[in-house]
Structure formats: C-alpha cells, structure tokens
Amino acid sequence: MIALRLFITLCIGLTIWQVTVWLTGVPPFILPSPLRVAAAALDNASLIASHAGITALEVLLGLLAGTALGIATAVAMTYSKRFHELFFPLLVFTQAVPVFALAPILTLWFGYGMGSKIAMAVLIIYFPVTSAFRDGLAETDPALLDLAQTLGAKPLPTLLRLRLPAALPSLASGLRLAAVYAPIGAVIGEWVGASRGLGYLMLLANGRAKTDLMFASLIVLALGAILLRIAVNSIAVRMEAYARGIAASG
C-alpha cells in the first residue's frame, strides 16, 4: 500500500517537474528534466551508491544522537525552570547562528571525518526535537499532575511514568521533523568539509557544471529522506497510539 502510494506520488512529482521544465522553459543546466537526471543516475549508479552509503550512516547516527540529546534537554528544561530560562535563549541562539559560521569551529573540534557531519546533523535535529518535546512536557494535564501530587509522587517517576508518556505525541511530532532535517544536516556537514558523501558529490557535480549528476544525487538524498520519514512516522504513530491507549494499527 505505502509502496503504491509512494509510487503514485513519485509519478505526480515527476509530472509536475517535467511540466515545470516545459512551461517555464528552465534551461537544463539550471533544472534538468527528469529523464536527463535518470540517465545521469544510471550512468553513475555505483558512484552515487557508494557516497549515499556514507551519508546514510551519518544521518542515522546523527538522528539517534540528536534525538537523545533533545529528549535529555527537554526533560532538564521541564524539571528546572531556572535551567529553562537561562538555557533556552542560548539554544535559540545556537539555532539562529547559521551553521556555516559554526562549521569551521566544528571541523576544528571534530575534524574532517564523520564526526563533524554527525555533529552538524545533531545540531539541526536537536532544536526541533527539544522544542516540540518541551512543549509537550509543559502541557501535561494539570489534573493528572494534581493526582500524582496527592499520590505522593517523586519527581523522577512523575517524569518517566506521567509527563513522558503524556508528551509522546509531541515527541512524535518533533521526531517527524527531525527525520526530514537529519539528511540536510549531514549534507551541510559534508559541504563544510568532506571528501565523501552525497553532499560532497553534489558540490563536485555542481562545480563541474554537471547539473544532471547533481540533481541525481539530490533525488537520491530526497528519496532517502522520504524513506526515513516513513520509517520514523511508523514509530511516531505507535507512540501517539500508545499515549492514547489504543493498539497501533500502522
């Protein structure tokens, strides 16, 4: 089912793309037609695949680390109002700083290996996860909190057994965003300094005016992002269903 729907979407997407190319007369070196891109993808299949593998690994590690860090921060902010008040503006600050400015610092600390790309993916995911989850934790039904209080609840179990499950839908929302942003994070990391990965391949293709190869890598990246989002969504749906006390159906 999902495969079929995805296929239909793909067809629609390709049609829109092709029609845009026709109607606006965008030249192929700015926006190549789907056919040209497909040809470039086939010609460079093994090249793209080897670079894609590296990016995929960076994305997954970044997603895991960023989510973990985001959850931890959101929890800390919920638990200490002072921490929230002092730390949150700093967090906004780091987000409002364009990554390119931080990139040299990151590469200085993490080197040109995978470390700096994962760091970049983490940096990008971290904020939406933290922000969404914190909003969720802050919105716990006050009646349930009153109940916990009368039951003599301690802070940690109140967090783990009440606030956290109740905020799962918000976390799910944050994760859905993170799944989409993680690939971008890794690619930006690769632009900043890399010798492998889809981002590197894109830059290379762009520099050599091979727009079709660039778009081919880009499509692979975007498809990967969609697959990742589908996978994360199925976890997110389960989390929402759990919080509502329904058996998840898909």
Partner 1 sequence: ADEMTVLLDWFVNPDHGPIIIAQEKGYFADAGLEVEVIAPADPSDPPKLVAAGKADLAISYQPQLHLQIHEGLPLKRVGTLVATPLNCLLVLKDGPIKSPADLAGKKIGFSVAGVEEAMLTAILENHGVAFDEIELVNVNWSLSPSLMSGQVDAVIGAFRNFELNQMNIEGVDGKCFYVEEEGLPPYDELIYVAKSDEIDADKITRFLRATELATQFIVNHPEESWEIFASTSPELQDELNERAWADTIPRFALRPAAFSAGRYSAFEAFLVDAGLAPTENPVDVIAVDVTKP
Partner 2 sequence: MTTPPAIHFTGKVQFGGKPLFGPVDITCPAGQWTSILGPSGVGKTTLLRLLLGLETGAQHDGKISASDGEPLAGRIAYMAQSDLLFPWLSLLENVVTGARLRSETPDLDRAHEVIAQVGLAGHEHKKPRALSGGMRQRAALARTLMENRPIVMLDEPLSALDACTRAEMQELLDHALCGKTVIMVTHDPAEACRLSNQIIVMSRGGAELWADTASSDLLMTHMRGLAA
> Residues interacting with partner 1, by CB under 8 A?
26-30, 44, 47, 100, 103-104, 107-108, 111-112, 190-195, 200-201, 203-211
Extract the tokens encoding 155: 């802070």
Extract the tokens encoding 239: 């989390």
At position 204, the amino acid (one-letter code) is L
Cβ atoms < 10 Å from Cβ of 15? 11
C-alpha torsion sign, points 235, 237, 241, 247: negative
CA distance 178 to 237: 15
CA distance 49 to 53: 6
User: Counting contacts by CB under 8 A, is residue 173 touching its own copies?
Assistant: yes
- Give the residue with the Cβ less far from partner 1, 94 or 195: 195
Taking contact as CB under 8 A, which single stretch among the options 55-63, 82-90, 147-155, 182-190 is the one that binds partner 2? 147-155
- Give the residue with the Cβ less far from partner 1, 153 or 204: 204
Q: How far is the CB of 135 from partner 2 (least distance, A)?
A: 18
Extract the tokens encoding 38: 């497909």
Q: How far is the CB of 222 from partner 1 (least distance, A)?
A: 20
Q: Chain-centre distance of CA 4, in angstroms?
A: 24
Q: How far is the CB of 202 from its own copies (least distance, A)?
A: 7
User: Counting contacts by CB under 8 A, is residue 85 touching its own copies?
Assistant: yes
Q: How far is the CB of 132 from its own copies (least distance, A)?
A: 6
User: Cβ distance 247 to 241 under 8 Å?
Assistant: yes
CA distance 41 to 38: 5
User: Counting contacts by CB under 8 A, is residue 208 touching its own copies?
Assistant: no
- Give the residue with the Cβ less far from partner 2, 162 or 219: 162
Q: Which of 1, 98, 246, 250 binds partner 2 (CB under 8 A)?
A: 246
Q: How far apart are the first and last CA of the chain?
A: 11
DSSP letter assigned to residue 159: I
Q: Which of 117, 163, 210, 229 binds its own copies (CB under 8 A)?
A: 229
Q: Which partner, its own copies, partner 2, partner 1, none, binds residue 110 by CB below 5 to 8 Å per kind? A: none
Of residues 46, 206, 67, 52, the one with CA closest to residue 130: 67
User: Cβ distance 39 to 212 under 8 Å?
Assistant: yes
Taking contact as CB under 8 A, which single stretch among the options 53-61, 111-119, 200-208, 242-250 is the one that binds partner 2? 242-250
Whole-number Cα distances in Å, 102 to 24, 108, 223 = 37, 10, 28
Residues making contact with its own copies (CB under 8 A):
5-6, 8-10, 12-13, 16, 24, 26, 30-31, 85-87, 89-90, 92-93, 95-98, 100-101, 104-105, 108-109, 127-128, 131-132, 135-136, 139, 169-170, 172-173, 176-177, 180-181, 183-184, 187-188, 191, 199, 202, 206, 214-215, 218, 221-222, 224-226, 229, 240
